[in-house]
């Protein structure tokens, strides 16, 4: 959980006290606001927000923060937000200054050419028009060089003006200034007809990594992937990439002797790697957890009414154990799928407990911890919490053997012909 900042910290920090004056020099309005003060919601706390000439419009300031940081290759001149913590104050001030500098350039040039400021622009476009203007208005004595940059600047804004009435260009800019944009596509010519551009949430992996440096990889079976593909449509701003399907059919477990610990287990697997931006983990893992835990009869958080809710982290490896022991001990809990109190992530499951039952929660954790540190002891009774460890060991064994077989097959076949692998 983030280490939230307090009013006293803000008032004692000269950089935060002076954000309004600093931003005003760039034609930007900036301030620190508070969201859901004195609550334990994940999004509650103080935010540094800024807008071009006025405060930015938003329904949820957290969404504005996601917009600010979701794609570093895009710049949103009309709004900026970042949630403040004790650790990120300096970063927040630096990012605000960067926003102010870029917003001033956009506002100055678009106003000069009498064109409305766009909601979003590519950073490389911003760099280009900034360079054109700097050279044209600079001290260089090379009039031809300066004139070339003036013409380039005029051409840029001539296209922007055409786009106000030209549906083909409007469609182009919507695509060009999005995660879907592929650099191989060229700007449409004057006479080109309106054509459809892709706006799918599933994009090629190279586009995803070009747009965001920190990528999380999920290993999903086919059913989980298909569910994610449908549910993620609720979050149209979330983009992802998908690897090829890996089909594994071992044939060995279904015929295993009864004393084999894997006897009767599934032997056919269809697995996909799904790639997402780390910033989008809360949305994606909320969907995945809800799908994976749907048969565990976990109560909704709205049924926890005995006390104030507290959020706690339970690792994925131990969640089966926690669920089993908690139900055995009569501990009622919920999973915070939508991240109201704690955001789901690739590292843990956010579990909600009523504060009046915190003692029972700790006793459950103690039971699990004792088991984890001592399950190798002889004679210990088998517990369902071994399920995850067995499943992981089984999966790793199969993948290792499949890779060996695929590698051997590739040496005998033409490249690109291996789509399925069978391990016997």
Question: Which of 211-215, 279-283, 293-297 ranks highest by mean pLDDT?
Answer: 279-283
- The per-residue pLDDT for 379 is 34
- The per-residue pLDDT for 280 is 97
- The per-residue pLDDT for 401 is 58
Structure tokens at 110: 């678009």
**396 compared with 416, residue with greater pLDDT:** 396
Confidence of residue 376 (pLDDT cuts 50, 70, 90): very low
pTM (two decimals): 0.79
- The per-residue pLDDT for 261 is 65
Average pLDDT in the 6-14 region?
91
- The per-residue pLDDT for 95 is 97
34 strand-pairing partners: 46
Confidence of residue 157 (pLDDT cuts 50, 70, 90): very high
**Summary mean pLDDT of the chain:** 84
409 strand-pairing partners: none
- The per-residue pLDDT for 377 is 37
- The per-residue pLDDT for 37 is 78
Average pLDDT in the 146-162 region?
94
The b/e string for 242-256 (b: 16+ C-beta within 10 A; e otherwise) is beeebebbbeebeee
Largest Cα–Cα distance of the chain, in whole Å?
89
- pLDDT one-digit tens code per residue, 52-79: 988 888 889 999 999 999 999 999 999 9
- pLDDT one-digit tens code per residue, 258-269: 676 666 666 677
421 strand-pairing partners: 248
- Enumerate the domain spans of the chain: 7-139
**196 compared with 350, residue with greater pLDDT:** 350
The b/e string for 202-236 (b: 16+ C-beta within 10 A; e otherwise) is ebeeebbebbbeeebebebeeebbebbbebbeebe
- The per-residue pLDDT for 382 is 38
Judged against a pLDDT cut of 80, whether residue 249 lies above it is answered with: no
Closest CA to 276 of 286, 264, 263, 268: 286
Lowest mean pLDDT among 134-148, 252-266, 343-357: 252-266
Judged against a pLDDT cut of 60, whether residue 189 lies above it is answered with: no
Judged against a pLDDT cut of 90, whether residue 138 lies above it is answered with: no
Average pLDDT in the 26-45 region?
91
Judged against a pLDDT cut of 90, whether residue 411 lies above it is answered with: no
Q: What angle do CA 89, 95, 97 make, to 5 degrees?
A: 105
| SS3 letters across 380-406 | CCCCHHHHHHHHHHHHHHHHHHHHHHH
- The per-residue pLDDT for 303 is 87
- pLDDT one-digit tens code per residue, 379-406: 333 334 444 444 555 555 555 655 555 5
Average pLDDT in the 371-384 region?
43
Judged against a pLDDT cut of 80, whether residue 209 lies above it is answered with: yes
Confidence of residue 378 (pLDDT cuts 50, 70, 90): very low
Left if phi > 0, otherwise alpha if psi is -120 to 50, otherwise beta: which for 264?
left
Average pLDDT in the 39-51 region?
93
Lowest mean pLDDT among 107-121, 208-222, 387-401: 387-401
Judged against a pLDDT cut of 80, whether residue 184 lies above it is answered with: no
């Amino acid at each position: 959980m983030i280490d939230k900042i307090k009013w006293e910290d803000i008032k004692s920090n000269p950089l935060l006290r002076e954000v309004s004056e600093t931003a005003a020099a760039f034609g930007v309005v900036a301030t620190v606001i508070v969201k859901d003060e004195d609550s334990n919601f994940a999004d509650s706390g103080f935010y540094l927000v800024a807008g071009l000439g006025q405060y930015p419009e938003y329904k949820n300031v957290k969404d504005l923060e996601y917009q600010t940081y979701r794609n570093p290759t895009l710049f949103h001149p009309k709004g900026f937000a970042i949630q403040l913590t004790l650790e990120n104050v300096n970063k927040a001030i630096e990012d605000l200054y960067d926003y102010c500098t870029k917003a001033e350039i956009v506002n100055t040039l678009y106003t000069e050419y009498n064109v409305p400021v766009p909601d979003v622009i590519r950073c490389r476009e911003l760099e280009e028009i900034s360079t054109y203007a700097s050279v044209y208005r600079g001290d260089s004595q090379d009039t031809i060089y300066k004139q070339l940059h003036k013409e380039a600047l005029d051409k840029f804004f001539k296209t922007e003006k055409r786009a106000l009435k030209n549906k083909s260009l409007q469609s182009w800019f919507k695509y060009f200034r999005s995660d879907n944009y592929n650099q191989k596509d060229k700007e449409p010519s004057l006479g080109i007809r309106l054509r459809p551009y892709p706006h799918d949430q599933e994009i090629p992996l190279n586009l995803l990594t070009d747009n965001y440096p920190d990528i999380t990889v999920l290993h999903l079976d086919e059913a989980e992937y298909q569910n994610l593909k449908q549910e993620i449509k609720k979050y149209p701003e979330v983009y992802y990439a998908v690897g090829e399907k890996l089909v594994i059919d071992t044939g060995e477990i279904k015929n295993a002797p009864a004393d084999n610990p894997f006897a009767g287990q599934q032997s056919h697997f269809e697995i996909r790697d799904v790639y997402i931006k780390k910033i989008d983990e809360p949305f994606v893992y909320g969907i995945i957890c809800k799908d994976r835990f749907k048969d565990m009869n976990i109560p909704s958080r709205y049924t926890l009414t005995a006390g104030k809710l507290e959020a706690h982290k339970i690792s994925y490896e131990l969640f089966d154990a926690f669920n089993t022991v908690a139900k055995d001990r009569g501990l009622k809990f919920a999973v915070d799928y939508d991240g109201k109190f704690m955001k789901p992530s690739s590292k843990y499951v956010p579990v909600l407990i009523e504060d009046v039952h915190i003692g029972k929660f700790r006793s459950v954790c103690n039971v699990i911890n004792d088991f984890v540190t001592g399950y190798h002891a002889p004679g210990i009774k088998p517990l369902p919490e071994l399920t995850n460890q067995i499943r992981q060991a089984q999966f790793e064994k199969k993948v290792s053997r499949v890779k060996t077989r695929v590698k051997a097959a590739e040496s005998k076949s033409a490249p690109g012909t291996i789509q399925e692998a069978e391990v016997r």
